Structures are given as structure tokens and as C-alpha cells.
Chain A
Amino acid sequence: MDWGLLLTQLMNGLQLGLLLFLLASGLTLVFGIMDFINLSHGSFYMIGAYFCGSIVARGGSFLAAVLIALIGMFVVGAVIERVIARRLYRADHLDHVLATFGLILIFDAIVHIVWGPSGMAIPLPSVLDGQVTLGSLVLPTYRLVIISGGLLVAAILSMLVTRSRLGMMIRAGASNRTMVEALGVNIHKLFLVVFAIGATMSGFAGMLIAPITEASIGMGNDIIIIAFVVVIVGGIGSVKGAFYASILIGLIDTLGRSYLDDLLEIFMSLDYAETAAPALSAMLVYILMAVVLAFRPQGLFPPAGIRA
């Protein structure tokens, strides 16, 4: 067993998990508190990446670009909530899906018109573009940046949800929305803030990933499906659940891609293992979701007060 490789793969899994958390935490709050299915949550991921890339391209430093783009994302999220999402809360889930699918198409078209179809590569400052040596391990510096950024945001969000007044309202909203409204909380304001925070975090995930994969049209649509899996596995409305489920899914996906072919070779011929491993590792995450739905349909960590 190559322990160095295993450790590297664990780090890679953690990094993927934290990115998923940034997406899924906003999704789970919006889904849990407002009962609103937002397929276009992935579009914020894309818009964040393009915002950040455009500022860097105009000569901004990467850090400044991220900060400015975060503010931009909060504004975008607030505007979408006020203009579009707010009209849809009372409609049923099918209407949410249709409307937000339409939003995806609109966002994709806007990006196509403004930035063109070719995607955008985002250069990193040379400090972040190198590698860090930890004992016998050599890791790309930027991967560590993603991990620390993700953990930082997770910590801030956790403080916000468990310690602040806003967090109390969010938790109460996830458990029983009607009661929160009856107690006189300005539910419109709460929804606006939650939606905008969700959009900001989704955008942040996009900014973090873009220097690795480049910004491209529809980049968010690829990852939003997995984010929904995280929401379901973790328990709808639960930030804590989203955190653990994200890390779990990040690790399963990465370790599956790394070790499944070796594992299958024990049972079958090399040729079969090589064909079966990629197909099976792509399915692992969904198998997990099916198992969770079968045995614990409320998710692994449902918000307090929710019983299936």
C-alpha cells in the first residue's frame, strides 16, 4: 500500500467535498427553508467564475477579484430572489423546476453573449501556482487554498447558523416555517438574505474551481446534480448534514476513481476490471443516495423537528 498516494487522494477527496459543500449548503437552505427547488443554483457557480475571471483579466489581483465578485454575487442573488424567486414560492415544485430550468437557459445565453462560447482561463498568481512539499508529499498549492477556503467558509457558516440571531431564524425556518411567520419574523427579508447567501457561496465555489478547470458555459449544470445528491443524503435544510454528506461524497467519488479498478481486479480479469471500474465509480454516489433513501429517507442529519 502506498500511504503517500492514499493521503494525497484523501486530500483530493476533501477538496472536492468542500467545493460540493459550498454549493450544497445554499441549496439545502433554500430548499429546506423556502421549500423552493432551485435548479439554477449552478448558474451562480458559473456567474461567480466569470465575474472573478473578468476582474482578473482587467488586471486585478486574484484575491481582490474574489472579494469584489463575492459582493457581485450577493447582489445577483438578491435581485433574482426579489424579481423571480419570490413570485414562485407559493407555486408547486413542478413550477419551480420549469422556471429555474428556464433561468439556466437564460444565464447560459447571457454568458454566451457577454463572454463568448470559448470559456475563460483564469491565471493564478505564481505564489499559488506552485507546489507545497510536506514530508514526502508534493501537493499543488492551489488545492490547499481551496481546502482552507472551504473550511473557513464552513466555519463562518456554522457560527452564523448556530450562534447568531439570523441563524436562529434560519434554523427555525427550516423546522417550521409557518410558526416562524406567525411569531412575527419578517419572512421576506429572511428569504432574501438566505437566497443571496446561497448564491454567494455557490459563486465562491465557482471562483475557486475556475483556475483549475477554466470557466465555461454550463459548468454549474454538471455539478448541480451531485449537489442535489448531497442535499438529499445530508437531510434537506440541514447545513450540518450538507457538510458531512459533501465530505462523504467527495471521498467516495475520489477514492472510487483511484482504487476501484485495483479492487475489482481481485474478483475479475484485468480487462473486465478496466471497463467496469469507470462505470461503477461514476455510479457509487448514486448508489449511496439510493441506500440512504431506502433506509433513512429523512437524510443522515435532518434539521431538528423534522421526522420522516
Chain B
Amino acid sequence: MNIKRYMMRVVLPIVFIALPTGLMAADSVRIGFVTTLTTPAGVIGTDMKNSVELALEHIGNKMGGLDVELIIEDDGFKPDIGKQKTDKLVKQDDVDFVTGFIWSHVLLASRQSALDAGKFLISANAGPSKMAGALCHENFFSTSWQNDQTPMAMGEYLTQQGVKSLYIMVPNYAAGKDMLSGTESTFQGEVVGKDLTKWGADAQLDFSAELAKAKASGAEGLFVFYPGKAGGAFLRQYQQAGLQDELPLYSVFTVDSISLPRFQDAEMSGVLGSRMAMFWSPDLDTPGNRRFVSAYLEKHGRYPSFYGAQSYDAIMLIHSAVEAVGGNLDDKDGIRAALKAANFESVRGPYTYGNNHMPIQNFYIREVVEDEAGRWTTRIVDTVFENHQDPYASECKM
């Protein structure tokens, strides 16, 4: 039998028989997870995926008596691909929840596809200002933060520390601008200069011109936001320029558990002792966090990142809602009410949702230290905000 005939007679019928049974398995919870698995930002997506899988292990892959079916999609760090993948999850896979989303511009491009189809959309990282304000939606929730909040905490901390002048460097995209406005809103001193550097697939990675400007500005501190691979490149050059002693570094989302092992391998000791604002840290002492961090350490041999923590929480939040309605996925109002209650053991401890479905939570200052086993990690040294709500909540008509 030639191959073509074999395909026609044997393979095709099997495919046709198998397809409908796959589609008809309605007694499961379908969760679509959009993240970045390719490009250098793929390490972030891998950390999120690890954490989601860990969460599913911890709940025995069951929610309200139903099996969980997880479909992970790669957005390739591009808004248009993210939207296509969300469309695919909503239309072809008919998922009940769409979650994930590292990047603000990807989430902004994808939100309508999920929300217009009546699905629940849960951001496990991105928190663009528009979606907390004018574009808020009854079916959109976040297990992370609104972009402005973390830099607001950093700005507040700098003011408390008596820093009088600051130089700011952020990438030129939605989240970068939110970080900038967040810091400026709480920092009482003078911002003596700022740079918005090129971002995206061909992001600027050589910061020599900006670092020279920052140094010449005579600022007392340097605030940066460089997630992913740009963070490593930035820190490297900051250290090579010998700025640790004259221009102390304050960052948000730049140093994390993904980059720290790499910095340690490259002996970049300049990063030890640097401080950042964050809603969470691996050493945060809550029952949910102890369970998550110890299991992650055991399974993957390194600390989870905040991306992972938020993704773990996203699954746990969905779990709590599906449990609350006893697995009746048609009860949208019940699910929504349960999501809003946030009645689960979050890694950050108990928190509540504001009118715009953004978490109202604490923000801490954490410092890079070496743990007992000699691994570089972060430890909380101060609490800046307690139960902090984002500034866009008042713009949300909900």
C-alpha cells in the first residue's frame, strides 16, 4: 500500500473518530495560558509554566470535581501573535479561563478577544493602567499588581530614605511609562533626568550613552525598570562603569530569581545588596508561600520568580472559584463573585480586590542576599505600603 492510500484509509478515519470525543469532553475545566516561551524572554514563560504545573499538582489536577485541561500558548513577545493565540484559545479550544500574559502591550491587544467572548481573563503579570481604569471589566481580574504600584512603593521608599535627586531609565513601552509615572507620583525629590530606551524585539541593550548622562547629572540615585535579558545587560554595564559607589541603584522588576543564578555564575557581586520594591519575596512567611517556594526549590533547584508566584496564584484563584460553584461552569455570576472574594491561600497572604478587580495588597522593599546554602536570593527588609490600592481605581466605573 502506498503512503497516500495508507493516509486516506487508516490515518484519516482515526483522526475523525478521535476528534469529536476530544471536543465533547465537557466535564473538564479548560484553562488557556498565554505566555512567552520563545525568544530570550522564554525563560520567564518557562518559570510561569513550571509554577502553573506545580499549582496543578498541588490541587491534584482537579477543580470542583472536574479535571483540569491546561492549554499553554506562546505569544512570541508580540502583541499580534498574543491576540491570535487568545482568539484560538477562545474560539477553537473554547476555554473557560484565559490567563498568563507577561507583557502589558500583549495583554492590551488580547483583552477584547477574551472578554467579548464572555470568558474570564486573569492577568498573571501585566497590569497596564488602562485596564485598571477606563477599560476595567467585570470579567477581568489580576493576581499581580497594577504597573504603577511597585514603582510608587519605590518612590515612597526613596523619599523616606532622604534621596533628593533621581535619574530614571525605563524602556519605551506601555509598562515603562507606567513605571515612570508611578515613581514620579510618590518621589518627593527632583527627577534630574530620564531616558526612555528602545524596546521590543530589537530592544536597545547598550546603555553607555544613558549611563554617562546619568553619571554626569549628579543624581543621588538611579531608578531603573529593565525586565528580562535587558536587566542583565544593564546591571553588567552599571557595574563596569563603576557606578555602585557614586550612584546607588534602585530597581523594579529588573533583578529576579531568574536572573540571580546567572549573575552569580558570572560573579557579578555588584548586585548583592541592591534594593527593589515588590509585593512578594521567596522568604515571605505565609503558609501558601512556604508550600510553593519549598516545592519549587525541590523540583527545580532554584527559587521561583515573582512571575511564577503570580502564575501559581492565578491557578489557585481559579481553583477557589470553581470549587465555590461546585464545578458548575455555567454559573458565571457565581464564579465572578468567588473570584472577587479571593478566598484562597495566596502566596502573598490574604488580600482583597478593589472595584477594578486589582489586588489591594502590601508592598515591601527586598534586598539581594546570599542564603544559607550560598544561593543568591532576595529578602524582605522593609514594608512600604500596607493594603495599597492602585491610583486608577477611581477611573473605573464598576
Asked if A and B bind, the verdict is yes
A84 interface residue (CB < 8 Å to B): no
- By CB atoms of chain B within 10 A, which of A119, A129, A141, A209 has the most? A119
Q: Residue A258 contacts which of B40, B172, B209 (CB distance < 8 angstroms)?
A: B209
In the complex, whether A5 has a CB less than 8 A from a CB of chain B is yes
Write the B262-273 contact mask toward A (1 if CB under 8 angstroms, else 0). 110111100000
Contact segment of A24-32, A66-74, A216-224, A234-242 = A216-224
Q: Is the CB of A218 within 8 A of B39?
A: yes
Give Cα A15 to B206, complex, Å: 10
A291 at the interface (CB under 8 A from B): no
User: How many Å lie between the Cα of A137 and that of B216 in the bound state?
Assistant: 11
Q: Are B196 and A9 in contact (CB under 8 A)?
A: no
- Report B159-174 residues with CB < 8 Å from chain A CB: 172
A60 in the interface (beta carbon within 8 A): no
CB neighbours (8 Å) of A102 from chain B are none
Q: Which residues of B contact A211 (CB under 8 A)?
A: 236
In A118-158, the 8 Å CB interface with B consists of 118-119, 121-123, 129-131, 138, 140-143
When chains A and B are docked, how far (Å) is the Cα of A16 from the Cα of B212?
Answer: 15
Taking a contact as CB atoms under 8 Å apart, the answer to whether B212 and A117 are in contact is no
Does B203 interact with chain A (Cβ within 8 Å)?
A: yes
Bound together, the chains give a CA A26 to CA B231 distance in angstroms of 30
The interface bits of chain B over 126-149 (1 if a CB of A lies within 8 angstroms of the residue's CB, else 0) are: 000000000000000000000000
CB-CB < 8 A to A117: which residues of B?
A: 37-40, 42-43, 46
Per-position 1/0 for B177-210, Cβ under 8 A of A = 0000000000000000011111001110110111
Task: Report if A282 contacts B (CB, 8 A).
Answer: yes
Check B240 for interface membership: any CB of A closer than 8 A.
yes
Residues on the B chain within 8 Å of A131, using CB: 240-242
Residues of A within 8 A of B216 (CB): 2, 4-5, 8
The verdict on A212 contacting B241 (CB below 8 Å), with A5-B216, A121-B262 known, is no
Interface residues of A in 1-45 (CB under 8 A from B): 2, 4-5, 8-9, 12-13, 15-16
Instruction: List A residues 245-299 near B (Cβ within 8 Å).
Output: 254-255, 257-258, 274-275, 278-279, 282
Judge whether B32 is part of the interface by a CB distance below 8 angstroms.
no
- Considering only CB atoms, which chain B residue lies closest to A123 in the complex? B266
| B240 with A121: CB separation less than 8 A | no
Assess whether A12 is in contact with B242, with CB atoms less than 8 Å apart. no
* Docked complex Cα distance between A9 and B39 (Å): 31
Query: CA separation between A127 and B369, bound complex, in Å?
Result: 26
Size bin of chain A's contact surface:
35 or more
A278 and B268 form a contact (CB under 8 A): no
Q: Which of A134-189 contact B (CB under 8 A)?
A: 138, 140-143
Chain A residues with CB under 8 A of B263: 121
Asked if A16 and B236 make an inter-chain contact with CB atoms under 8 angstroms apart, the answer reads no
A213 with B197: CB separation less than 8 A: no
B237: Cβ under 8 A from any A Cβ: yes
Flag if B236 contacts A9 (CB, 8 Å).
no
Q: Known: A140-B237, A140-B241. Is A258-B265 also a contact (CB below 8 A)?
A: no
Closest chain B residue, CB of each to CB of A5: B216
B residues within 8 A CB of A5?
212-213, 216
Closest residue on chain A to residue B198 by CB atoms: A282
Question: How far, in angstroms, from A129 to B210 measured CA to CA in the complex?
Answer: 19
The residues of B that contact A213 with a CB separation of less than 8 Å are 205-206, 233, 236
Residue in A257, A275, A282 whose beta carbon sits within 8 Å of that of B210 in the complex: A257
B232 close to A (CB within 8 Å): yes
Does A225 lie at the interface of the complex (its beta carbon under 8 Å from any beta carbon of B)? yes
Shortest distance between the CB of B96 and any CB in chain A (Å) = 30
Contact with A along B83-127 (1 / 0, CB 8 A): 000000000000000000000000000000000000000000000
Please, which residues of chain A bring their CB within 8 A of the CB of B43? Answer: 117-119
List 14 A-B pairs, Cβ < 8 Å.
Answer: A8-B212, A9-B212, A12-B209, A12-B212, A119-B232, A121-B268, A143-B208, A213-B205, A217-B39, A225-B202, A254-B209, A257-B197, A258-B213, A282-B198
Q: 4 smallest A-B Cβ distances: which pairs? A: A121-B266, A117-B42, A12-B208, A213-B205
Could you tell me which A residues sit within 8 Å of B by CB distance? 2, 4-5, 8-9, 12-13, 15-16, 57, 112, 117-119, 121-123, 129-131, 138, 140-143, 209, 211-214, 216-218, 221-223, 225, 254-255, 257-258, 274-275, 278-279, 282
A121-B263, A278-B198 given; name 16 further pairs at CB < 8 Å.
Answer: A5-B213, A8-B212, A12-B209, A117-B43, A121-B266, A123-B266, A129-B239, A141-B240, A143-B208, A209-B206, A212-B206, A212-B233, A258-B210, A258-B213, A274-B196, A278-B196
